[in-house]
Amino acid sequence: MSPRGRPRAFDRDRALTEAMYIFWARGYEGASLADLTTAMGINPPSLYAAFGSKEALFREAVGHYCENYGGFTDAALREPTARAAIEAVLRDNARDYVDPGHPSGCMVVLAATNCTPANQGLYTYLAELRRETQESITQRLRKGLEDGDLPAKTDVEALGRFYTTVLLGLSVQARDGATLSELGASIDVALAAWPEEARK
């Protein structure tokens, strides 16, 4: 006699995606085990069996986020001039930050801004990812300096820090309900600070 039905196979990728959305929307501390297991469609033992721990699940969810939503900056930095690259970084990310198809803002910016001492390692983990973004932006500005896109005496370290600050701020503004038009106006102001006298 054949069984009435088999349990549906565990879809690990789908479960990870659902966990990512919970962490993205509520942050690590705000995402309870019940929130996660409900969204993932599994029970706590299955979560631990599949991912090891809540922290390990979070780290994997961040990696999943970076693979699926973190490519805007890398793609934008391939624009032919430094200014075009920075503008694309800001505008492309801003569009994604307000996309109604997922939580607003950037998970890497918002998911662990406040942590208990026990979870400080997660804050450090995301801070390092943000530093990597800043370094990528600064590296593109260095190339722009070499290419003559920027005045010879431009402080690319300070300029990179400035535009990274704008980028992270757009994420916070999007989470607070800013529209794409409002974010665009802020980007316009930020781009007006671009050094004007390029080398000849």
Structure pTM? 0.89
Give the span between the Cα atoms of 21 and 16, in whole angstroms.
9
Pinpoint the alpha helices (H) of 41-155.
44-51, 54-69, 71-76, 82-97, 107-110, 120-147
Indicate if the alpha-carbon torsion angle 49, 50, 53, 54 is positive or negative: negative
In the predicted model, what is the mean pLDDT of the chain?
Answer: 92
What is the CATH number for 50?
Answer: 1.10.10.60
Q: Give 6's DSSP letter.
A: P
What is the CATH number for 168?
Answer: 1.10.357.10
Residues 112 and 77 in one domain: yes
Residue type, 51: F
2 in any annotated domain: no
The single residue listed with the structure tokens 């102001």 is 189
31 in any annotated domain: yes
Q: Which are the contacts of 39, defined by CB distance < 8 A and separation ≥ 6?
A: 18, 19, 21, 22
Q: Which H or E run contains 182?
A: helix 180-191
Residues 78 and 33 in one domain: no
Residues 44 and 87 in one domain: no
Q: Which residues of 45-77 are buried (b: 16+ CB within 10 A; e: fewer)?
A: eebeebbeebeebbbbbbebbeeebbebbeebb
Indicate if the alpha-carbon torsion angle 107, 68, 120, 43 is positive or negative: positive
Residues 187 and 107 in one domain: yes
What are 92-140's pLDDT values in tens digits?
999 999 999 999 999 999 998 877 888 889 999 999 999 999 999 999 9
Residues 149 and 81 in one domain: yes
Percent of the chain with pLDDT strictly greater than 90: 86
Per-residue confidence (pLDDT) for residue 198, from 0 to 100? 47
Residues 116 and 160 in one domain: yes
Give the span between the Cα atoms of 68 and 17, in whole angstroms.
10
Q: Taking the C-alpha atoms of 174, 176, 181 and 182 in order, what is their torsion angle to the nearest 10 degrees?
A: -120
What are 119-132's pLDDT values in tens digits?
889 999 999 999 99
Residues 22 and 32 in one domain: yes
The band of 70, judged by pLDDT with boundaries at 50, 70 and 90, is confident
Output the six-digit token pair for 124: 């450090």
Whether 40 shows a pLDDT value over 90: the answer reads: yes
Full residue range of the structural domain in which residue 28 is found = 11-69
Q: Give 119's DSSP letter.
A: G
Closest to 175 measured CA to CA, from 122, 76, 108, 125? 108
Residues 125 and 180 in one domain: yes
Whether 24 shows a pLDDT value over 90: the answer reads: yes
Residues 79 and 170 in one domain: yes
The band of 9, judged by pLDDT with boundaries at 50, 70 and 90, is low
Residues 65 and 76 in one domain: no
The band of 199, judged by pLDDT with boundaries at 50, 70 and 90, is very low
Per-residue confidence (pLDDT) for residue 3, from 0 to 100? 45
Q: Which of 23, 54, 69 is the last residue of a domain?
A: 69
How many structural domains compose the chain? Answer: 2
Output the six-digit token pair for 141: 């500005």
Residues 59 and 75 in one domain: no
Q: Which of 41, 69, 97 is the last residue of a domain?
A: 69
